[in-house]
């Protein structure tokens, strides 16, 4: 089965073509376009290239196109990308303005160009469908909740992959099987010994999720990708009273305050140097106190959320790091795990320093009660697997 994954950013279009079957998968082709203002010419060029390079006889040879949709109003899960999905994206376009309009345009484009090819949307919120109301509810008036304002969570494909992969790594195949079929069969009953993971997706956009027996019990991101940890240039968590106060004192409108919180905050706002943690760390090493504060604040926020989910789950068997920062920043991983020896976390510094640039590895000592692992992210493959399962079940 040939599955194309379309990753539509606010100004980019990237794709990967996979050949999938029940036991294996291989990537046939990949590519992308930057500085995109219209997606139709890019999608047309992609299809032309895939045929010209011999990967496809024609576009109709594709069995399904998968989309990593972010946030839908009153809709989540792994579902056919139909009019219901388009309406859900439209309903929350103000909440995810960089993503929802792009995915809506992309879905419509594929519908025009390849009307017979199945389209499947995997919402980033899907992994959090089974959180309890206490975990996803805000203490706001009913009228606000009726608008759909609640904690949704994001990076769902990444955290679901971590749930399955960590279970396999440490021999919990019962948990891995549960995670694998989650969107098709639901969670079902589970009564075995607990398997608890603190999953840290740390990159340009970051989140921490607590995973118990393959299900998310809580996550740092909330109503929008704006919340949770300090992001590259997004603020993360902020007291709601800060916005009207800043508007009044700085003489700015709410729209300008929102722009600053989305574009000039996070690591960039704290460091004054860059939104890239590598540049920020270099500035900190050079003596910049603001850059050091940015790194320290990120570490503190990661530990804050990890501590919350550790307490809620009653412990943890695994701490996992993934995505660009999680996979490559040795110092940050050490700082996050520092001083946790009494909780059974012992880092093997040599293994930690050796595990970078796309390597998977255990970076805790053999006698560490809590295992610490680095797992490379591959969200496109995760989406391809879920699309394959969704199409195969029919």
CB 318 within 8 A of CB 341: no
pLDDT digits (tens, 9 = 90+) for 238-268: 999 999 999 999 999 999 999 999 889 999 9
The three-class DSSP label of residue 287 is coil
Look at residue 34 in the predicted model and tell me its pLDDT.
85
CA distance 8 to 106: 7
Mean pLDDT, the chain, rounded, equals: 93
Segment (H or E) for 140 = none
Average pLDDT over residues 162-173: 96
> Residues forming the annotated binding site for Mg(2+)?
7, 379
Residue 120, φ and ψ in degrees, nearest 5 = -130, 135
Domains in the chain: ranges and CATH: 2-123 (3.30.420.40), 156-379 (3.30.420.40)
pLDDT bin (cut points 50, 70, 90) of residue 23 is low
CA angle (275 as vertex; 42, 379 as ends), nearest 5: 50
> Residues forming the annotated binding site for ATP?
14, 276-278, 324-328
Look at residue 340 in the predicted model and tell me its pLDDT.
96
Q: Which comes out higher in pLDDT, residue 14 or 307?
A: 307
> Residues forming the annotated binding site?
7, 14, 276-278, 324-328, 379
Let me know how many helices (H) and strands (E) the chain has, helices first.
17, 12
CB 384 within 8 A of CB 66: yes
CA distance 161 to 385: 10
């Amino acid at each position: 089965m040939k599955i194309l994954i379309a990753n539509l950013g606010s100004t980019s279009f990237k794709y990967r073509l996979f050949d999938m079957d029940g036991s294996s998968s291989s990537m046939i082709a990949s590519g992308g376009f930057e500085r995109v203002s219209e997606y139709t010419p890019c999608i047309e060029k992609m299809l032309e290239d895939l045929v010209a390079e011999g990967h496809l006889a024609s576009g109709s040879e594709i069995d399904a196109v998968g989309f990593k949709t972010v946030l839908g109003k009153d809709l989540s899960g792994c579902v056919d990308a139909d009019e219901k999905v388009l309406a859900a994206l439209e309903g929350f376009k103000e909440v995810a303005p960089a993503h929802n309009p792009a995915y809506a345009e992309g879905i419509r484009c594929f519908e025009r160009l390849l009307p017979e090819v199945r389209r499947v949307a995997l919402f980033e919120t899907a992994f959090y469908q089974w959180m309890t109301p206490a975990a996803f509810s805000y203490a706001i008036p009913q009228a606000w909740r009726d608008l759909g304002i609640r904690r949704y969570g994001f990076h769902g494909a990444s955290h679901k992959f971590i749930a399955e992969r960590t279970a396999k790594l440490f021999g919990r195949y019962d948990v891995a099987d549960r995670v694998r079929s989650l969107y098709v069969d639901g969670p079902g009953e589970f009564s075995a010994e607990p398997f608890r993971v603190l999953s840290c997706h740390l990159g340009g956009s970051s989140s921490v999720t607590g995973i118990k027996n393959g299900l998310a019990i809580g996550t740092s991101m909330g109503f929008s990708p704006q919340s949770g940890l300090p992001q590259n240039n997004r603020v993360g968590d902020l007291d709601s009273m800060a916005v009207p106060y800043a508007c009044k004192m700085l003489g700015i409108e709410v729209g300008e305050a929102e722009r600053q919180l989305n574009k000039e905050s996070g690591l960039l706002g704290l460091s004054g140097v860059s939104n890239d943690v590598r540049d920020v760390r270099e500035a900190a090493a050079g003596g910049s106190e603001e850059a050091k504060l940015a790194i320290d604040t990120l570490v503190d926020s990661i530990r804050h959320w990890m501590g919350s989910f550790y307490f809620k789950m009653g412990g943890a068997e695994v701490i996992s790091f993934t995505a660009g920062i999680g996979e490559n920043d040795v110092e940050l991983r050490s700082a996050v795990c520092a001083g946790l020896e009494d909780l059974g976390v012992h880092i093997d510094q040599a293994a930690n320093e050796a595990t970078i640039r796309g390597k998977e590895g255990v970076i805790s000592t053999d006698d560490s009660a809590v295992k610490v692992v680095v797992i490379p992210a591959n969200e496109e493959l995760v989406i391809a697997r879920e699309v394959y399962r969704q199409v195969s079940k029919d």
